[in-house]
């Protein structure tokens, strides 16, 4: 019989060693396994929990090794990681069972000798669970240990937001995300979809901010529901829903979406425009455009044209052509760590710096495509100010024919409104971290 913990180790090897996406790898391995629903749930819990708390877990393991983490084979290291996670963060499995399972896995993956090392490390940790301790004189070290984030990222947030907000951000990024769907107004009303989901056995709740949002509190996979297949809703985080809502859309506009994949915001624009007007959706990869096209068909949308284009390269044919331009620019994704925890470990400061040039190039191109009186909507799913407000301030300082139009989404303890008019959405149980800014062309 297939073992849920072995599947978890295989997923983690792919995520940590091969930089694979956790959600894609986990889904693929679960779908090819013969695990029952309970074991699949346990595997999912172990995978995401271990990735989330990797920093703290690795510090614990390292404290019980003479030669350090680098001396371990990848499979043995990941067996130890999932075991420490279960012992420290879960209470559903007895410690002795975790140890026995880990020892058997180590024998299968490596050798009897490796299993003895695994046994020794885990039993020593159970005897001395407080052996690893952070530098109590360093608030950075304390936050790294408590929330399990790499030091460079904690330093970045602390420098940009201060210690109090950084703790709020780190806590939010560790929250378990809920599933939220956006009602397709082209096919049904909000109440009709809400009630249909209830009839289908889902426990649902109204969204926090966006009027089209429904939170799925409990129920089977929403993607396996016939309501999804028939296009009554799109799975989308509520933060992302606010992007199209910020664009001041109406029927018969000409809209450009320069970085459209995977298409959630593109389809939302079409729905708000009541399937009228013209929307051109661009992306650099053909396979991503095919994904958008399949969603357009599912949702009954026919006013969107999909085309390959690199948003960084200026396209003369689009000059002064658009009433609205959406640029949901490529970013570091630091606001969506609660859904993709491997971002903590797969990003670096150098990668963040390289993105800024790309984002500014796209923003400059968008400024040439928008008509006088039209607007650009700039958004990211990161919390790095260099990719967000610093880009906006750079653009406004160098382009006096544009101004920021203030946005307001109501009150919320995770909404940071700037005096300039842009909005930062802090991550919490219900929403991803996001940045949204609306820029109007004056002349």
In terms of domains, do 248 and 209 share one?
no
Quote the CA–CA distance of 252 and 323 in Å, as a whole number: 10
pLDDT above 70 covers a percentage of the chain that reads 99
In a domain, 133, yes or no: no
Residue 137 has pLDDT above 80, yes or no: no
Q: Residues 272-291: pLDDT tens digits?
A: 999 999 999 999 999 999 99
Q: Which of 210, 306, 331, 381 is catalytic?
A: 381
CATH of residue 424: 3.40.50.150
User: 235, 257, 277 — which closes off a domain?
Assistant: 235
Q: Residues 175-228: pLDDT tens digits?
A: 999 899 999 999 999 999 999 999 999 999 999 999 999 999 999 889 889 999
Q: Residues 369-421: pLDDT tens digits?
A: 999 999 999 999 999 999 999 999 999 999 999 999 999 999 999 999 999 99
In a domain, 69, yes or no: yes
pLDDT, residue 132, reads 67
pLDDT, residue 165, reads 97
In terms of domains, do 41 and 184 share one?
no
In terms of domains, do 159 and 188 share one?
no
Question: pLDDT-based confidence at 173, cuts 50/70/90?
Answer: very high
Q: What is the mean pLDDT of the chain?
A: 94
In a domain, 138, yes or no: no
Quote the CA–CA distance of 81 and 71 in Å, as a whole number: 15
Binding-site residues from annotation: 259-265, 283, 310, 328
Domain tally, the chain: 4
In a domain, 139, yes or no: no
In terms of domains, do 250 and 317 share one?
yes
In terms of domains, do 411 and 369 share one?
yes
In a domain, 230, yes or no: yes
User: 235, 263, 279 — which closes off a domain?
Assistant: 235
CATH of residue 104: 1.10.940.10
pLDDT, residue 133, reads 65
pLDDT, residue 259, reads 97
In terms of domains, do 279 and 366 share one?
yes
In a domain, 134, yes or no: no
In terms of domains, do 339 and 357 share one?
yes
What range defines the domain where residue 225 resides? 179-235
Binding-site residues from annotation for S-adenosyl-L-methionine: 259-265, 283, 310, 328
In terms of domains, do 161 and 117 share one?
no
In terms of domains, do 217 and 114 share one?
no
381 is catalytic: yes
In terms of domains, do 300 and 214 share one?
no
CATH of residue 231: 3.30.70.1170
Q: Residues 44-89: pLDDT tens digits?
A: 999 999 999 999 999 999 999 988 898 899 999 999 999 999 999 9
In terms of domains, do 34 and 106 share one?
yes
In a domain, 132, yes or no: no
Q: Compute the average pLDDT of residues 345-360.
A: 92
In terms of domains, do 290 and 421 share one?
yes
- Backbone φ and ψ of 40, nearest 5°: -65, -40
pLDDT, residue 131, reads 74
Q: Residues 28-54: pLDDT tens digits?
A: 999 888 888 888 989 999 999 999 999
């Amino acid at each position: 019989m297939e073992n849920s913990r072995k599947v978890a180790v295989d997923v983690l090897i792919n995520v940590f060693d091969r930089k694979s996406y956790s959600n894609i790898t986990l889904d693929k391995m679960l779908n090819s396994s013969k695990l029952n629903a309970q074991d699949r749930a346990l595997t999912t819990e172990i995978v995401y929990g271990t990735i989330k708390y990797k920093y703290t877990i690795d510090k614990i393991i390292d404290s019980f090794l003479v030669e350090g983490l680098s001396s371990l084979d990848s499979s043995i290291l990941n067996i130890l990681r999932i075991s420490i996670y279960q012992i420290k963060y879960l209470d559903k499995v007895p410690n002795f069972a975790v140890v026995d399972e880990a020892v058997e896995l180590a024998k299968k993956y490596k050798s009897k000798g490796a299993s003895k090392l695994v046994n020794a490390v885990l039993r020593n940790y159970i005897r001395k669970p407080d052996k690893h301790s952070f530098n109590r004189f360093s608030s950075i070290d304390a936050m790294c240990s408590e929330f399990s984030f790499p030091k460079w990222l904690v330093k970045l947030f602390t420098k940009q937001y201060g210690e109090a907000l950084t703790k709020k951000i780190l806590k939010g990024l560790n929250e378990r995300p809920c599933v939220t769907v956006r009602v397709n107004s082209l096919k049904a009303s909000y109440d009709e979809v809400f009630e249909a989901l209830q009839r289908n056995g889902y426990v649902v709740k109204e969204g926090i901010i966006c009027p089209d949002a429904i939170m799925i509190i409990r129920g089977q996979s929403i993607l396996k529901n016939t309501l999804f297949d028939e296009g009554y809703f799109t799975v989308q985080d509520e933060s992302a829903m606010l992007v199209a809502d910020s664009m001041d859309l109406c029927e018969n506009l000409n809209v450009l979406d320069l970085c459209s994949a995977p298409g959630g915001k593109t389809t939302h624009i079409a729905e708000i425009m009541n399937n009228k007007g013209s929307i051109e959706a661009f992306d650099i990869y053909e396979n991503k455009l095919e994904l958008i096209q399949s969603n357009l068909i599912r949702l009954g949308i026919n006013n969107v044209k999909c085309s390959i284009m690199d948003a960084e390269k200026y396209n003369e044919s689009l000059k002064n052509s658009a009433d609205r331009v959406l640029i949901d620019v490529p970013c570091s994704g630091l606001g969506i760590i609660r859904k993709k925890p491997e971002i903590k470990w797969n990003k670096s400061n150098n990668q963040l710096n390289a993105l800024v040039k790309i984002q500014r190039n796209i923003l400059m191109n968008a400024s040439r495509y928008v008509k006088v009186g039209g607007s650009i909507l700039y958004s990211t799913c990161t919390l790095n100010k260099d990719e967000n407000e610093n880009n906006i301030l750079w653009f406004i300082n160098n382009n006096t024919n544009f101004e920021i139009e203030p946005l307001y989404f109501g009150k919320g303890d995770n909404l940071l409104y700037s005096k300039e008019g842009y909005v930062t959405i802090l991550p919490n149980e219900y929403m991803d971290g996001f940045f949204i800014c609306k820029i109007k062309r004056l002349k």
